[in-house]
Amino acid sequence: MLRAMRTQVGIIGAGPAGLLLSHLLHLRGISSVVLERHSRAYVERRVRAGVLEQGTVDTLTAAGVAGRLRREGLPHRGIELRYGGAGHRIAFEELVPGRTITVYGQQEVVKDLIAARLADGGDIRFEVDDVVPHAAGTDRPYLTFGGERLDCDFIAGCDGFHGVSRPSIPAGVLTEYEREYPFAWLGILARVAPSADELIYARTDRGFALHSMRSPQVSRFYLQVAPDEDVAAWPDERIWAELKARLETVPGFELTTGEIMEKAVTPMRSFVAEPMQYGRLFLAGDAAHIVPPTGAKGLNLAVADVRVLTAALAEWYATGSREALDGYSRACLKRVWRAQHFSWWMTTLLHTFEEEDAYGRRLQLSYLDYVTSSPAAATTLAENYVGLPYD
């Protein structure tokens, strides 16, 4: 016999999407339970995205969970595109006044949200085994896990690309769009001060490289590598040598090296599932869509989804109207597909492709020249990068 309990919204996944949704619902007086298969320590140290759009920062601020973000986050008012032996700054403050980005690790956002939910008496259950959604197509959905049953009005699947939520939707309901890229990213976290004040996106014939940061003492780097690359083939010495070869391409720039704390290979994928809902099950964040990290959109799309879902659920509880709930996918996917295109565009603009011929390389460089010399083209990049305003 399963031990039964009840809440209004059952949330699968304690990543940024699930935690923020739980917090925003709490601010609207709506109860939730968050179920997470990993430990609290695991989700709080899991290194992921680190670039927050203006709208994401504004959302966290309005939700009252941005105190540490405001103190420790690193506002950036531009990025550098580096290619052909020169650096070209895309100045956000000139192209999209009043909108910028903030570098603040996803794991730090998670820590802040967990702390806020627990301080408010929120119910977050870590290390939960065998979560299964049931009866999502009815008006009585529920979740089972570890010998317990959670009855709820709605289920929010915020459990990522490999989670249980999307596969629980019956076959034939979803249309899935996917693109695999012929390369991956080798991500490096190093205990070393950043060598530049802003992010550097470097396009070279050796492959793409990204110089980023997490704090004044910790830097984040990425190297384009083969999709089946073995991280064991990349000792620290090789990593630093390759980063230098791809980043030290402009006069006067010298890469600071130091202790490497983490390294991992991340595949590059674009993915969208339509619709993002089935009955009373709603998908949010990576459970519904994946973007290559070149455009820094993954976490920010999750926040946008959660904003829409919170408003729709609040409307249903206040008025009984399903109009916003029924329009959830349509509202989210408009932004998702814009971010998909931007992420694909940034990826194809800056990476090298094995099958690319001399003609293709010249086209790529020509477009880089256009973006870095035309205010109109640079504005398109800037306004997409800092995040389009919410409707």
Residues annotated as catalytic are 76, 201, 293, 297, 385
Measure the CA–CA gap between 374 and 206, rounded to whole angstroms. Answer: 27
Measure the CA–CA gap between 194 and 174, rounded to whole angstroms. Answer: 43
Measure the CA–CA gap between 47 and 266, rounded to whole angstroms. Answer: 12
Q: Half-sphere exposure (CA, 13 Å, Cβ side) for 87?
A: 19
Measure the CA–CA gap between 89 and 91, rounded to whole angstroms. Answer: 6
DSSP element (H, E) containing 307: helix 298-319
Query: Residue 170 burial (CB < 10 Å; 0-12/13-18/19+)?
Result: exposed
Q: Which long-range contacts (CB under 8 A, 24 or more apart) does 128-131 make?
A: 128/35, 128/36, 128/37, 129/37, 131/12, 131/35, 131/37, 131/159, 131/164
Measure the CA–CA gap between 246 and 242, rounded to whole angstroms. Answer: 6
Whether cis (ω within 30° of 0) applies to the bond prior to 275 is: yes
